[in-house]
Amino acid sequence: MAQKDYYSILGLSPQATPEQIKSAYKKLAKQWHPDVNKTPEATEKFKEISEAYSTLSNPEKKQIYDQYGSDAANQGFAGNPFEGGGAPGFDFSDFFTQGAGGF
């Protein structure tokens, strides 16, 4: 899957503030919403804008996106398993407290 540049989609720089991200999204959403814009590409463009906003407006997703890209942000890539991520359903909380015999 190709990486997407969410900042470019919203016409922003990576240093954009949350207020700038929201403002850019609102402006583009009004322009490209399929109920307003009847061009054939409007639906796809609106989905792309919404996906970019969904990622960049969420501080956790934005951090993952900034570090790993759009594929990781959209697939729930968690990075460090000791910071709440890792394998789904696996509890790392007592990983080091069990001792050598706990495995």
Task: Tell me if 12 sits within 8 A of 65, measured CB to CB.
Answer: no
Could you tell me the fold of the domain covering 17-70? Helix Hairpins (1.10.287)
DSSP H or E stretch at residue 55: helix 42-56
> Does the pLDDT at position 88 exceed 90?
no
| Burial profile 56-65: b = 16 or more Cβ within 10 angstroms, e = fewer | beeeebbebb
DSSP H or E stretch at residue 70: helix 70-74
The pLDDT assigned to 69 comes to: 82
* Rg of the Cα atoms in the chain: 18
* Model confidence band, residue 92 (pLDDT cutoffs 50, 70, 90): low
Task: Tell me if 73 sits within 8 A of 59, measured CB to CB.
Answer: no
